[in-house]
Structure 1
């Protein structure tokens, strides 16, 4: 698989990261309660492919329900430039805050987060995306 180094960050610039991924993103549109309210889309990469460059002290984390997902966001501007999803606690997601220029294409797949357990059971590849 072809990899590129994507860079990105929050709105105010306090949080910056880089992530190795394909230039062709497989993005999930989730219908769980928080993704619906935030209109969040995400893609999954292994934790080892993600590097936080700046802003560790400017981050805070929100959790709910099972407290497995770590919704990390900038405490200055409020933007969630990455987070650790419940589906892949060994991975990171971050498509909406990538800097322009390295994404070639985006394929969006719907994920029924309202029926999270059933959807995870039925999905054949999502868990392996952070490996």
Structure 2
């Protein structure tokens, strides 16, 4: 694990899948416009694969892959919560569902960058493209 970052405890909704992830911060939070992420609606933060350690329930994860099969999306087979995915654009990175991080959630971030996953950088020569920004404004 990277030594300069903070360790966060994480779990699915039912708690059967538990893991720890070391993050240098939340500057990599994002959503995506690809067909799967658009329906899933989660906000993910990037972590190095080696910075994720499962404490319990790794055998309770189910895997979903589509299209090229490069990205690997994991979710708890008991409660169905998406916990993380191995990124297609960089398979050395996991996208971690921020809602699974203890003490954090998707509404902690007033703005979240939305990446263009429909025109994925692996399919085009243009590289990653921002599709927009998702904003959350809490009511008073």
Whole-angstrom CA distance in 2 between matches of 1:120 and 1:33: 20
Find the counterpart in structure 2 of residue 44 from structure 1.
46
Q: Deviations over 1:72-92 (max 9, x none)?
A: 111100011111121221121
TM-score by length of structure 2 reads 0.76
Indicate the RMSD between aligned Cα atoms, in angstroms.
2.3
Q: Tell me: higher relative CO, structure 1 or 2? Use CA pairs within 8 A at least 6 residues apart.
A: 1
Whole-angstrom CA distance in 1 between matches of 2:126 and 2:51: 25
* 1:113 counterpart SS class: coil
Q: Which has the higher helix share?
A: 1
Which consecutive residues of structure 2, in runs of 5 or more, have no partner in the other structure? 130-140
1:116–1:100 CA distance, 2 compared to 1 (3 A) = same
Whole-angstrom CA distance in 1 between matches of 2:12 and 2:124: 30
- When the two structures are aligned, how many residues end up with a matched partner? 121
Please say if residues 11 and 79 of structure 1, whose CA atoms lie closer than 8 Å, have aligned partners that are also in contact.
yes
Whether 2:96 is the aligned partner of 1:97: answer no
Find the counterpart in structure 2 of residue 122 from structure 1.
127
4+ residue segments displaced more than 4 Å: none
Which consecutive residues of structure 1, in runs of 5 or more, have no partner in the other structure? 125-131
Please say if residues 44 and 88 of structure 1, whose CA atoms lie closer than 8 Å, have aligned partners that are also in contact.
no
Please say if residues 3 and 23 of structure 1, whose CA atoms lie closer than 8 Å, have aligned partners that are also in contact.
yes
Find the counterpart in structure 1 of residue 77 from structure 2.
75
Whole-angstrom CA distance in 1 between matches of 2:125 and 2:81: 27
TM-score by length of structure 1 reads 0.81
Find the counterpart in structure 1 of residue 58 from structure 2.
56
Q: Which has the higher strand share?
A: 2
Please say if residues 10 and 100 of structure 2, whose CA atoms lie closer than 8 Å, have aligned partners that are also in contact.
yes
Q: Deviations over 1:96-125 (max 9, x none)?
A: 210006xxx75622201111136784339x
